[in-house]
A and B are shown apart, each in its own frame.
Chain A
Amino acid sequence: MGNRITIPFGSQHVALPEPIRFVFQTENEKIVDVEVDVGYVHRGIEKACMTKFKYTQVGYVVARVCGLCAISHTLGYVTAVERLMEIEVPKKALYLRLLVSELDRVHSHLLAMGHLAEVAGYENLFMHTFRDRELVMELQELVTGNRIQFDYATVGGVNRDLSLEVERELREKLKDLQERCLWLKDVFENDYTIKLRWKGIGVITPEMARELNVVGPPARASGLATDARNEFNYLPFKEVGYKLITMKDGDIYARNMVRAEETLNSLEMIFNLLDGMPEGDIKVPVKGLPEGEAFVRIEAPRGELFYYLKGSKKLILDRLRIKVPTFSNIPVMKELFIGMDYADVPATVISFDPCLSCTAR
């Protein structure tokens, strides 16, 4: 038995520029204990939504919970309000929402894959991935008018229509993007060094995943068939060729491959929905005030996002509760670290694609 050494990882770390802090106790490189602290950037957004903002404005506030999944957060909120107020959203608006939500998934997954390549020491692949991600960002800007805070969905529909030129450009660039993604997947799948580095590291067994309630790509990489897109009917995913992607291994490599496959599936869905775009309005006027309770599950790029809200016929909501994917994944991270080599920690943490600005909103 060697010396016990305490190693803090974070709250700022080269591999993870987000304020989470792990304190590891190690014995000869092996981790024997770990403590997690996530409360560094608490911004009180839930409270602000319950005191300061009207329910029609909250969609724009929750979009600021996280820059990467801004679309998912707004989508979760507006869907919950629409369920509560029984608003029938036009089909075209649903399709447009699906378009942006899938574009968002592509860009988030590319970021996660690039980041993972970076912590594996594969700078070149990181650069390639991020260059290709730029293509998606351009597409998102084309559709929504902004690069990060998209503000696309609103209660009753969406804010912008898809013009013919935009659609043409979308298709052109998407073809390009699809090719690039296929190439990237090929590299991630077949590169010898990556396999050495990631295979068999940080394994989450299906039992562990079920017991600790893992969500998103990490859960699907462990063979758990959980996906809110499949289970909760909030957008017409089934109509545009959604596929549930699962893998068995549950290691870092499998998590990455789930993301790569999902990216391709998302692009496929986008092509299908552009072909089948319905005609009609993009928005319906909203009347009345929310009363009662509603909850909604959304599949954000990182996993299941949960929105609960309660209103009592007032302009301001009584309660808004956001449960974000990373929050659900922290217990399993903790479990995973015990008995692991310290050297594998950065890659394992990043393979969950943690988002702290969501967790401590």
Chain B
Amino acid sequence: MKDMFIESLKNLFKKPATHQYPFEPSPPPPNYRGNIVYKKELCIFCTKCELVCPPGAIRFTYNEDGSREFHYNPYLCIYCGECVRACPKAGCLIQVEEMAPPATEEEIPNWDEIEKEAEESKKRWLKARKKPQAKKS
């Protein structure tokens, strides 16, 4: 009984095991697997990253002139880092410790549109590329 009382008193003044969250930020984890950052200058548009990404969080859309655009959806990404490992240009894709911000309506990329556009523009681009070759042969 006495021990229990002393223990209870001690516990009153002990540091709590949890974080006092809104008053004290939860500590940023070192080495956390966060978002993917893309550097356009370095990219050679090999689309290896698009091919390996398990949930399809990276998509390329094709412009008329054959140039490509990179799209990344941080809310679909599972932060596995496969794209970083697959990328032949070191530093083009890097994984940072930042997390995706809380999603609000305006910030979410319109991913359905982008996916549709990626499929269709790729088909268009492939068709356009085939034609001149067909003429040659």
A residues touching B (Cβ–Cβ < 8 Å)? 53, 56-57, 60-61, 131, 134, 141-142, 144-146, 149, 151, 154, 159, 166
Contact = CB atoms under 8 A, between A and B. Distances in A.
Given A53-B54, A57-B54, A141 B78 contact: no
25 contacts: A57-B52, A57-B82, A60-B54, A60-B78, A60-B80, A61-B54, A141-B29, A141-B31, A141-B32, A142-B29, A142-B30, A144-B33, A145-B31, A145-B32, A146-B32, A146-B33, A149-B78, A151-B33, A151-B78, A151-B79, A151-B80, A154-B82, A159-B80, A159-B81, A159-B85
Contacts of A145: 31-33, 79
Nearest to B97: A145
Contacts, number: 37
A144 B33 CA distance: 8
Interface in B11-65: 17, 29-33, 52, 54
A154 B86 CA distance: 13
> Which 9 residue pairs are nearest across A and B when measured between Cβ atoms?
A145-B33, A57-B54, A60-B54, A151-B80, A131-B17, A146-B33, A145-B31, A60-B80, A141-B29
A217 B29 CA distance: 33
Nearest to A57: B54
A100 to B, nearest CB: 14
Nearest to A138: B29
| Range class of the B interface residue count | 10 to 19
A151 to B, nearest CB: 5
Given A145-B31, A145-B79, 18 more contacts: A57-B52, A57-B54, A60-B54, A60-B82, A61-B54, A131-B17, A134-B17, A141-B29, A142-B30, A142-B31, A146-B33, A146-B79, A149-B78, A151-B33, A151-B80, A151-B81, A159-B81, A159-B85
B31 A166 contact: yes
Contacts of A151: 33, 78-81
B100 to A, nearest CB: 13
A61 B85 CA distance: 18
Interface string B120-134: 000000000000000
B50 to A, nearest CB: 12
A282 B32 CA distance: 19
Nearest to B34: A145
A356 B81 CA distance: 29
